[in-house]
């Protein structure tokens, strides 16, 4: 077997690595036998030289099998999940999981926390009083078998090599590598024992992939890796040039997701994306024959109240107050409200969605440091969407806050992030 330095040199020089070499490297790093500085050198070589499809699959497999893989073979129904590459105001998971589970497909969902300007599903779920996302792997398996869905964070047993590698990528300038992103995402998702996966790959000002071409390249890589490992995968490319829906902030986004589950009016883009993802999950899992059939089944599950009932069941199973599902007033609520207003009349021509997301982080809805404590109550309500016409002084964004110290900067950032062209 080659030494670690020989593997690093081969990739540095642009040569293709043998799957056994990649497995040896990942296993050695997960055990602690390979130091951070050598793995950092390997990550930079991958960042600069890339990986072939075969190498990406080998890296994904090595990271996947560095820990436990849940076995749901005893469950007689198909298993499906969804992954989003991250955006602003994206609260599809809390709405999507109960819709798909109520329609007859199990949803073992392993989610993440906020990253940079993007919100995290775990942070949103933990805005529900008592809701636990830190279930053990045994409890996760038991809940999926009992009620058909569970939404948790990555446990110590799930892809431990990914957890170490992700932290190292974050401090070595190697996050934005498509092969490394692919292996990270797919190793965690496949460890949950799924049969099918719907991918929401975002592009635009609020996405990590700013261009549609970059998003397509990532979608192709993720799809190839999943299919190579025997899973049914489909990718949707979705626009993140404005926030998804109206709410931004953890409790506010849970409320908007619940409004959809209750059949109340929500932003059309949010409803459409949730139903599209549900339709793909149902079709990939074999519950329906076509995407159109999947959308009809998802819509019927919403209309019947079955999805809302499943959501109450999920909340109760994970320690939360199920009364929240019908009553958003039981969610954390900020004490104060401010408004960012239009400086002049015109049309909303563009949004810097990343800047809007960062304004929410500064307000306390996300983390500026790893040890920062999120305030689940704070956030925004978008009063305008792209293309809307506004008069001078009209509300652009409502800001819900507890600490007034950040409000002037937040209002300034929001005003600068929304471009209004004069009539």
The CATH code belonging to domain 4-50 is: 1.20.970.10
The residue ranking higher by pLDDT, 73 or 23, is 23
Report whether pLDDT(423) > 90.
no
- Of all residues in the chain, what percent carry a pLDDT higher than 70? 99
193-220 residue pLDDT tens: 999 999 999 999 999 899 999 999 999 9
Question: What average pLDDT does the structure give for the chain?
Answer: 95
Q: Which of 38-52, 164-178, 263-277, 313-327 bottoms out in mean pLDDT, i.e. has the lowest?
A: 164-178
Quote the CA–CA distance of 388 and 395 in Å, as a whole number: 12
Asked if residue 273 lies in contact with residue 146, where contact means CB atoms within 8 angstroms, the answer is no
Specify the pLDDT at position 98.
98
Tell me the helix, strand and coil percentages in the chain, rounded to 5. 50, 15, 35
Average pLDDT over every residue of 305-321: 98
Specify the pLDDT at position 166.
85
134-154 residue pLDDT tens: 999 999 999 999 999 999 998
Quote the CA–CA distance of 23 and 19 in Å, as a whole number: 6
Locate 283 and state its tokens: 């079709």
Report H helices in 15-157: 19-31, 36-49, 53-64, 92-102, 121-125, 137-147
Report whether pLDDT(357) > 80.
yes
Average pLDDT over every residue of 371-398: 95
The position carrying tokens 């975002």 is 202
User: Residue 197 in 3-state DSSP?
Assistant: strand
Specify the pLDDT at position 370.
64
The residue ranking higher by pLDDT, 86 or 253, is 253
**Residues with catalytic annotation?**
83, 162, 169, 184, 188
Q: Which residues pair with 421 in a beta bridge?
A: 347
Q: Can you name the CATH fold of 336-421? A: Aldehyde Oxidoreductase; domain 3 (3.90.1170)
Task: Give residues with Cβ within 8 angstroms of 372, minimum separation 6.
Answer: none
Task: Give residues with Cβ within 8 angstroms of 193, minimum separation 6.
Answer: 69, 70, 71, 72, 79, 108
Specify the pLDDT at position 163.
87
The residue ranking higher by pLDDT, 120 or 323, is 323
CATH ID of 80-155+192-325, from 3.40.1030.10, 3.40.1360.10, 3.40.50.2000, 3.40.50.300: 3.40.1030.10
Specify the pLDDT at position 33.
96
Question: H or E element: which one contains 182?
Answer: helix 178-190
Average pLDDT over every residue of 324-341: 98
Report whether pLDDT(295) > 90.
yes
Quote the CA–CA distance of 225 and 292 in Å, as a whole number: 26
Query: Which of 128, 183, 190, 118 minimizes the C-alpha distance to 158?
Result: 190
Domain boundaries, the chain: 4-50, 80-155+192-325, 336-421
């Amino acid at each position: 077997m080659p030494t670690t330095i020989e593997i690093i040199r081969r990739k540095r020089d642009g040569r293709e690595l043998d799957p056994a070499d990649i497995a040896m490297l990942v296993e050695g790093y997960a055990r602690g036998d390979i130091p951070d500085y050598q793995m950092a050198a390997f990550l930079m070589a991958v960042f600069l030289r890339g990986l072939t499809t075969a190498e990406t699959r080998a890296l994904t497999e090595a990271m996947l099998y560095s820990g436990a893989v849940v076995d749901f073979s005893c469950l007689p129904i198909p298993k499906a999940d969804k992954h989003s590459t991250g955006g602003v105001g994206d609260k599809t998971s809390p709405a999507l999981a109960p819709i798909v589970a109520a329609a007859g497909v199990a949803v073992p969902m392993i989610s993440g926390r906020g990253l940079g300007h993007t919100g995290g599903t775990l942070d949103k779920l933990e805005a529900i009083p008592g809701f636990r996302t830190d279930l053990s792997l045994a409890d996760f398996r038991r809940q999926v078998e009992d009620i058909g869905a569970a939404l948790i964070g990555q446990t110590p047993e799930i892809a431990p090599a990914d957890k170490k590698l992700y932290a190292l990528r974050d401090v070595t300038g190697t996050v934005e590598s498509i092969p490394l992103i692919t292996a990270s995402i797919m190793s965690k998702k496949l460890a949950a024992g799924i049969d099918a996966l719907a991918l929401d790959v975002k592009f635009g000002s609020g996405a990590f992939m700013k261009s549609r071409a970059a998003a397509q390249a990532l979608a192709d890589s993720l799809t190839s890796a999943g299919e190579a490992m025997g899973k049914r995968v489909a990718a949707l490319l979705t626009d993140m040039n404005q926030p998804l829906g109206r709410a931004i902030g953890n409790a506010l986004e849970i409320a908007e997701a619940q409004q959809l589950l209750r059949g109340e009016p929500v932003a059309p883009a949010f409803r459409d994306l949730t139903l599209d993802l549900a339709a793909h999950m149902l079709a990939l899992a074999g519950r329906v024959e076509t995407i159109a059939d999947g959308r009809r089944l998802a819509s019927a599950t919403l209309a019947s109240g079955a999805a809302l009932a499943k959501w109450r069941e999920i909340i109760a199973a994970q320690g939360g107050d199920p009364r929240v599902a019908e009553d958003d007033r039981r969610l954390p609520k900020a004490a104060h409200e401010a408004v960012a207003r239009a400086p002049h009349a015109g049309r909303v021509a563009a949004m810097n969605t990343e800047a809007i997301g960062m304004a929410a982080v500064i307000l306390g809805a996300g983390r500026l440091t790893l040890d920062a404590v999120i305030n689940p109550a704070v956030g925004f309500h978008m009063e305008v969407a792209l293309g809307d016409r506004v008069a001078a002084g009209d509300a652009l964004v409502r800001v819900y806050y507890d600490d007034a110290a950040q409000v002037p900067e937040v209002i300034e950032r929001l005003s600068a992030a929304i471009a209004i062209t004069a009539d």
